[in-house]
Structure 1
Amino acid sequence: MSSVPLSEAVAALIPRAKTELAELVAFASVADWRQFPKSESQKAASWIADALRAEDFRDVEVLDTPDGTQSVYGYLPGPADAPTVLLYAHYDVQPPLDESRWLSPPFELTERDGRWYGRGAADCKGGVLMHLTALRALRGQGGVPVNVKVIVEGSEEQGTGGLERYAEQHPGLLAADAIVIGDAGNFRLGLPTVTSALRGMVVAEVRVNTLQGNLHSGMFGGAAPDALAALIHMLASLRDETGATTIDGLDGGGEWPGIAYDEADFRQDAKVLDGVGLIGTGGVSDRLWARPAVTVLGIDAPPVVGATPSVQASAGALVSVRIPPGVDAVRTGEALRAHLTAAAPWGAKVEVTLGGSGQPFAADTGSPAYAAMAEAMREAYGREMAEAGNGGSIPLCNTLAGLYPRAEFLLIGLSEPEAAIHAVNESVSPQELEKLALTEALFLRRYAAAHSATQGV
């Protein structure tokens, strides 16, 4: 066993992590075959499988999931009677958006101002390297003290549910005592954070029809019912005068028990323009993590350029509602449908089609795994662990919680605000990668020790 402190062992591995992250970022693994070659995702999956085999993982497989994508699985056995920990990340990424706005090529890891830039650097290819670095450091320090399963998904960003359905079809594959989801992030750079709640989401398409066809606004405007105006009226009814979401049948008064999000910090993080107010009431944390939040994602309407003086016969919109733990996605969808239908003026014909949805998720913050993680974060960062929510959805969490109700869930990761995930110029902090890899290694040690203590070993 090496006499080098674990922190130094992790630090020594960071140059290797950078080299390998550059290799992984180079794959344009966007799981949308209309825009990007499927071969790029397949190459990324193959790279991860090879990396696991190099670390002596057994049963390494590239799994063909029902949505046509691939996930990578591997198993690393630990000591006898040790607990099993599942480590999750995903290798698929968001499209780069407007490449002309990137200061360096999106699929070429580039160091600039102390950060590493590239699509997926934080979300979530950096999470793959976080897991690998933690395990490598432990292997050089006498071995990994738990049984480890790794699953790296290939379609998380697309939300097509391939891994969820595969897990349901193979219920024993991902069974574990603790599950570490490496797809979250610290509340602030350098502030160790676990994400204890994830918003769920409901998406609905609403279509409004009032006329058999468009009409000349000079001849018919003022009496003919305008479908676009009807739609605007309906969408406006989803918010009150403060901008807070008001969908009939949904409670909008929840309060967040964890860390408070300072309004000035939020304005800076969200890049709110000077003089523009925030929407809703109550604390920012309440609005983000404890209350429903509606967003109009898109509207079918004539563009300004090329528009004609017409009364519109038809209009449509795509609407999403993010929901906190304790609110059911199915009931929310039906409430949204009923609200929009009831809000239609002038007897307009309305059709609301519910699309994809995901239930919210809440972790048990009183579990032994949380205590072990708090100790690990305290040692790695020299600060107490914070607890935050996350506006994103990770449907796999609910799937695994349903399959393994006794498993303990922890959500950590590299997507702190400066990472700008899903935006142009995404980046990762190498210092954050180092500290979180150390945190994970320390957690695995403490979790193994706690498990041994409860078993009387």
Structure 2
Amino acid sequence: MELRRDLGGTVDGLMPELKGLLGQLVAIPSIAFPEYPKENVRRAHDLVAEELRKSGVGEIQVLNLPDTSPVVYGRIPAPEGAPTVLLYGHYDVQPSGDESLWHTPPFTPTEKDGAIYGRGAADCKANVVAHIGALRAYGGKPPVGITVVIEGQEEYGSVFDDYPAEKPELFQADALLICDAGNIRAGQPTLVTALRGVADVFVEVRTLAAPVHSGQFGGAAPDALLALVAALATLHDADGNVAVPGLRRDKWQGANYTDKEFAEVTGMAPGMPLLGTGPIGERIWYGPAITVIGLDAPPTKTAASAVVPYAKAYLNVRVHPEQDPAEGQRAVIEHLKKVRPFGIELEVTGGDIGAGFAAGTNGPAYAAMGEAMKKAWGVDAVDSAMGGSIPLTNTMAAANPNSEVLMLGVEDSNCNMHGYNERVLVSELRNVALAEAEFFQLFADRMRK
């Protein structure tokens, strides 16, 4: 009991320096996209490495992989008989977009109403700072072994996604804390236990050699755009549920958004209905989604009065966490090839795929983190999921087939990550740092029993 009370007080005492460090990191526009200056990525890398050294991570090295930003890699050896915990995060950020749409400059960290605003404040620099805070809560000598992996090109795409499978000995741990997730709502500690898989599908239709006059020939001439729209309409039923056979959907037993919360989080127009039926969690986490994310067709501003000869759609398909994304992709391709709107054959091809992930929830790490989160937030933790994918999670899990994967973080559903006015709540930063610190001791205790 004394240790737990001291951890809370220690983390509270660390908060001024942790907020200051987060501010330093947010002020560095560490965007790893090709057209942005590489020196900013290097500056963020160097700052993270130095702060980890100050936090007791003595064995720090740089993983310089081809065509990617440097990865900070460090270790603290485990005490005798103690487990090892891997801490993951990333120091790179998304571009800021149109800076005129930000209430405060994106790379000028601004604290207001209990939140720190700035690009990367939530995704993912506050998670990196939380790792540092948890280590400093023990004076750099935690009761578990530590492996720290902080990469610098997560937002753009990195060869590091595959590297842990090539060098599994560098990433061995009993528990993996993938801190690039967050809470379903502020103040509600959440463990993300599932990620949907992803697959791309392209649909093309060509009906004429060139556009022809819609007045002279429309009504009989085969309209490529009309055929494409008709085909896309078969992907969902009248309620908006995915209607493609072979795509898995299961009951979801974890936390859920309310309809009102979901409308607020997504910025739905007033009175706009949700798509699909059933619990929202089932629709967005444990079932499929098919989204038309691109369309090649004449723009309205320059459209001529002509029958369209060619059209193409780009579909983003999300599949159940435990379904093979290639299987889901094939299901969509086969469905569309059978449609033949108005007797017109479609050309349907597959693109990139990414596997989903389902974490185990019966091990000692999961139990210890649930207990640690309750101590930090004061309420029971819940399970949630993410509709997006984190490719590294699968690779890390493959490198550690006997370890537990815990996905958590400082983000909440209103943090605006990747959007304008991104922010992290100071309370969530504090609680994640404290939960990690509590977890180290609770997990060590459980593994020694």
Report how far residue 261 of structure 1 moved.
Answer: 2.5
Q: Is the 8 A contact 2:172 2:400 kept in 1?
A: yes
Deviations 1:230-289 (A, max 9, x none): 21112111111001111232234x210112322222222222222211110111111111
Deviations 1:88-123 (A, max 9, x none): 111222222222110011122111222111111111
Partner of 1:227 in structure 2? 224
Deviations 1:119-138 (A, max 9, x none): 11111111100100111112
Q: Is the 8 A contact 1:69 1:162 kept in 2?
A: no
Partner of 2:434 in structure 1? 438
Partner of 1:208 in structure 2? 205
Q: 1:226 to 1:183 in 2, by over 3 A?
A: same
Partner of 1:285 in structure 2? 281
Q: Is the 8 A contact 2:162 2:392 kept in 1?
A: no
Q: 1:284 to 1:47 in 2, by over 3 A?
A: same
Is structure 2 residue 190 aligned with structure 1 residue 193?
A: yes
Distance in 1 separating the partners of 2:293 and 2:399: 32
Alignment of 1:119-158 (within 5 A): 119-139=119-139, 143-158=141-156
One-letter code aligned to 1:21: L
Partner of 2:380 in structure 1? 384
Distance in 2 separating the partners of 1:355 and 1:71: 28
Q: Is the 8 A contact 2:68 2:160 kept in 1?
A: no
Distance in 2 separating the partners of 1:21 and 1:351: 49
Q: Which moved more, 1:308-317 or 1:329-338?
A: 308-317
Partner of 1:393 in structure 2? 389
Report how far residue 403 of structure 1 moved.
Answer: 2.0
Alignment of 1:43-442 (within 5 A): 43-139=43-139, 143-158=141-156, 160-252=157-249, 254-442=250-438
Report how far residue 345 of structure 1 moved.
Answer: 1.9
Q: 1:377 to 1:288 in 2, by over 3 A?
A: same
Distance in 2 separating the partners of 1:384 and 1:245: 34
Secondary structure at 1:401 match in 2: helix
Distance in 1 separating the partners of 2:427 and 2:366: 23
- Give TM-score, length-normalised by structure 2: 0.95
Q: Is the 8 A contact 2:174 2:404 kept in 1?
A: yes
Q: 1:3 to 1:293 in 2, by over 3 A?
A: closer
Which residues of structure 1 form unaligned runs of 5+? none
Q: Is the 8 A contact 1:66 1:165 kept in 2?
A: no
Report how far residue 161 of structure 1 moved.
Answer: 4.4
- CA RMSD across the alignment: 1.9
Q: 1:56 to 1:382 in 2, by over 3 A?
A: closer
Q: Is the 8 A contact 1:66 1:166 kept in 2?
A: no
Partner of 2:26 in structure 1? 25
Report how far residue 451 of structure 1 moved.
Answer: 1.3
Distance in 2 separating the partners of 1:101 and 1:82: 49
Q: Is the 8 A contact 2:111 2:117 kept in 1?
A: yes
Q: 1:222 to 1:288 in 2, by over 3 A?
A: same
Distance in 2 separating the partners of 1:66 and 1:392: 26
Q: 1:280 to 1:68 in 2, by over 3 A?
A: same
Secondary structure at 1:419 match in 2: coil
Q: 1:79 to 1:40 in 2, by over 3 A?
A: same
Secondary structure at 1:6 match in 2: helix
Q: 1:234 to 1:65 in 2, by over 3 A?
A: farther
Q: Is the 8 A contact 1:71 1:154 kept in 2?
A: yes
Distance in 2 separating the partners of 1:318 and 1:439: 41
Distance in 2 separating the partners of 1:350 and 1:69: 41
Distance in 1 separating the partners of 2:66 and 2:381: 38
Report how far residue 153 of structure 1 moved.
Answer: 2.0
Which residues of structure 2 form unaligned runs of 5+? none
Q: 1:210 to 1:132 in 2, by over 3 A?
A: same
**Consecutive aligned runs of 4 or more in structure 1 exceeding 6 Å deviation:** 1-4
Alignment coverage as a number of residue pairs? 448
Q: Is the 8 A contact 1:227 1:314 kept in 2?
A: yes
Distance in 2 separating the partners of 1:285 and 1:170: 36
Distance in 1 separating the partners of 2:131 and 2:138: 11
Partner of 1:8 in structure 2? 9
Distance in 1 separating the partners of 2:176 and 2:248: 31
Percent identical among aligned pairs is: 44
One-letter code aligned to 2:177: V
Distance in 1 separating the partners of 2:351 and 2:43: 31
One-letter code aligned to 1:33: P
